[in-house]
Amino acid sequence: MGVSVSTSLGPFVIATLPDMAMAPIDRALRLFQQAFGGEPAGVWSAPGRVNLIGEHTDYNGGLALPIALPQRTYAAVRVRPDGVLRVVSDGMPGGPVSVPLTEVGPGSPGGWAAYVAGVFWALRDAGYAVPGADVALSSSVPVGAGLSSSAAVECSVGAALSDLTDLGLLADLDGRRRLATVCQRAENDIAGAPTGGMDQLASMLGTAGHALLLDCRDGSTQAVPFDLAAHGLALLVVDTRAPHALVDGQYAARRHTCQEAATALGVSSLREVGLPYLAHTLARLPDDVTRRRVRHVVTEIDRVGRFADAVEAADWRLAGTLMVASHESLRDDYEVSCQELDLVVKTAMAAGAWGARMTGGGFGGCAIALVDAASASSVEAAVLAAFAGAGWSSPVPFLVTPADGAGRDQ
């Protein structure tokens, strides 16, 4: 049922692609019936996210500005009375993974099922009574592209468990924030990916037509209108198909450097380092690598606030300039870009984009470009031609608009 593909989500590899002629909600339902028999109690979904600006700021107590994507992961779920989790995905090889919930913990189960089992574990650890369940997953979120496919899995499952066990966590913003924290713990503690909380918050709190201004120091959020179509603009995402993984040590190494720098500076997080004091602060740090990492974080936090203001003022020229500055900082100071991401940004700007930057954790994945809607197809064509000229596999460009967060679909 599909063709071979090589890509990654955390430590595991997808072996087959499902029948893409079917909508993912229908694929989830069919897979549930095939794997477990009968019907699920319902289907829940959660979106991936793309970050407009504010990279590697979340775990530094900073600001970020993501949007929830139209692309979603769907979870068909039915509770079980025996305390066992059985989970299957049409994007993963083999049949269902089965694990007693009492055996879920760091390193167990291994592989992709950890992202699902971790949600059960984190809810139980938070004091919620969660039974076993049968779970079938299908997704339209590109995997391995830095668009938070893992958070979409976690949040779709978390939403299902909240409804099926009457936890009420989807009813208001506070509940959704608590559920996002649960899903982040699943990823950090069970799947072993040391991500910040931006991905899960975007997946839980996203609203159509808006970006989410997220203050990672106190967890507060603000909806920022982001209706590009009203201004004749569009947001182009380009999946470079250069593999993106957060469990290979590079992401963790940068997070560790930032934590060590904050300790050396005597602050709780790099958010406490104000931009006016940056030069003095950098002089207190022990080496050039640390100085560059801190410089990116401090200047990126400043760029997020200025970008949000620019969007609200419809100052697209300034917004685009900030996007390019963000990419250059990620490329040169944080060193998380790659040739494919750099080529997308260079080509999009040459083709007339207002701004462009890599997005996500880096080391592959996606770049975004703010473009005039009328010229989106020409920017896409320029990027495709540039990759062909470089002798690389074709990237996958697509347009996105902000979508709603996790919830029940059926």
**Per-residue model confidence as pLDDT tens digits over 158-184:** 999 999 999 999 999 999 999 999 999
> Residue 191 carries which DSSP code?
S
Structural domain contains residue 3: no
Structural domain contains residue 349: yes
Mean pLDDT for 75-104 is 95
Structural domain contains residue 318: yes
Looking at residue 15, what is its pLDDT?
30
Name every residue whose Cβ is closer than 8 Å to that of residue 263 and which is 6 or more positions away in sequence.
Answer: none
The model's confidence at residue 20, banded by pLDDT at 50, 70 and 90, is low
Looking at residue 245, what is its pLDDT?
55
Poorest-confidence range of 166-170, 242-246, 343-347?
242-246
Question: pLDDT by residue (tens digit) across 109-132?
Answer: 999 999 999 999 999 999 999 999
Active site residue 372: no
Beta carbons of 290 and 260 less than 8 angstroms apart: yes
Q: Would you call 337 helix, strand, or coil by DSSP? A: coil
- Continuous H helices in 60-100: none
CA atoms of 265 and 388, how far apart (whole Å):
47
Question: pLDDT by residue (tens digit) across 192-210?
Answer: 988 878 899 999 999 999 9
The model's confidence at residue 108, banded by pLDDT at 50, 70 and 90, is very high
Same domain, 233 and 214: no
> What CATH number does residue 284 fall under?
3.30.70.890
Same domain, 169 and 90: yes
Structural domain contains residue 134: yes
Give the relative orientation of helices 339-350 and 316-332 as an angle to the nearest 10 degrees.
Answer: 160
Give the relative orientation of helices 114-125 and 173-185 as an angle to the nearest 10 degrees.
Answer: 120
> Tokens at residue 234, please?
């569009």
Same domain, 210 and 93: yes
Looking at residue 260, what is its pLDDT?
97
Mean pLDDT for 282-305 is 97
Looking at residue 11, what is its pLDDT?
30
The model's confidence at residue 49, banded by pLDDT at 50, 70 and 90, is very high
Name every residue whose Cβ is closer than 8 Å to that of residue 172 and which is 6 or more positions away in sequence.
Answer: none
Same domain, 198 and 75: yes
- Judge whether residue 6 has pLDDT over 90: no
Nearest Cα residue to 70 out of 303, 299, 237, 288? 237
| Cis peptide bond upstream of 395, omega within 30 | no
Poorest-confidence range of 16-20, 22-26, 76-80, 228-232?
16-20
> Tokens at residue 91, please?
């994007």
Structural domain contains residue 367: yes
Q: Which residue has the tokens 């499902």?
A: 18
Beta carbons of 85 and 101 less than 8 angstroms apart: yes
| Residue 205: CA count within 13 A, CB half-sphere | 28
Same domain, 198 and 237: no
Looking at residue 194, what is its pLDDT?
81
Nearest Cα residue to 66 out of 235, 293, 275, 314? 235
Name every residue whose Cβ is closer than 8 Å to that of residue 8 and which is 6 or more positions away in sequence.
Answer: 14, 143, 144, 243, 244, 245
Question: pLDDT by residue (tens digit) across 377-400?
Answer: 999 999 999 999 999 999 999 999
CA atoms of 59 and 255, how far apart (whole Å):
7
Looking at residue 244, what is its pLDDT?
57
Looking at residue 16, what is its pLDDT?
37
Its pTM stands at 0.89
Query: Choosing from 90, 199, 215, 239, which is the catalytic residue?
Result: 199
Nearest Cα residue to 214 out of 225, 226, 202, 203? 202
Same domain, 371 and 242: yes
> What CATH number does residue 157 fall under?
3.30.230.10
Same domain, 146 and 232: no
Looking at residue 219, what is its pLDDT?
85
Question: pLDDT by residue (tens digit) across 253-276?
Answer: 999 999 999 999 999 999 999 899
Same domain, 105 and 166: yes
Mean pLDDT for 51-64 is 96
> Tokens at residue 371, please?
């473009």
Structural domain contains residue 2: no
Give one DSSP letter per residue of 287-314, joined into a string: SHHHHHHHHHHHHHHHHHHHHHHHHHTT
- 339-343 LR contacts (CB < 8 Å, sep 24+): 339/390, 340/240, 340/241, 340/242, 340/364, 340/387, 340/392, 340/395, 341/240, 341/242, 341/365, 341/367, 343/383, 343/386, 343/387, 343/390
Looking at residue 143, what is its pLDDT?
81
Cα 344 to chain centroid distance, Å, stands at 20
The domain tally of the chain equals 2
The model's confidence at residue 8, banded by pLDDT at 50, 70 and 90, is very low
CA atoms of 258 and 269, how far apart (whole Å):
8
Nearest Cα residue to 329 out of 299, 352, 368, 351? 299
Question: Domain span at residue 57?
Answer: 8-226+404-408
Structural domain contains residue 395: yes
CA atoms of 237 and 174, how far apart (whole Å):
31
Structural domain contains residue 1: no
Same domain, 114 and 250: no
Burial 24-44 (b: 16+ CB within 10 A, else e): bbebbbbbbeebbeeebebbb
Looking at residue 196, what is its pLDDT?
79
CA atoms of 104 and 93, how far apart (whole Å):
21
- Continuous H helices in 146-287: 149-164, 173-185, 198-205, 250-265, 278-283
CA–CA–CA angle 222, 397, 25 (5° rounding): 70
Same domain, 280 and 216: no
Radius of gyration of the chain (CA): 21
Same domain, 165 and 18: yes
- Judge whether residue 323 has pLDDT over 50: yes
Same domain, 194 and 243: no
Mean pLDDT for 277-287 is 95
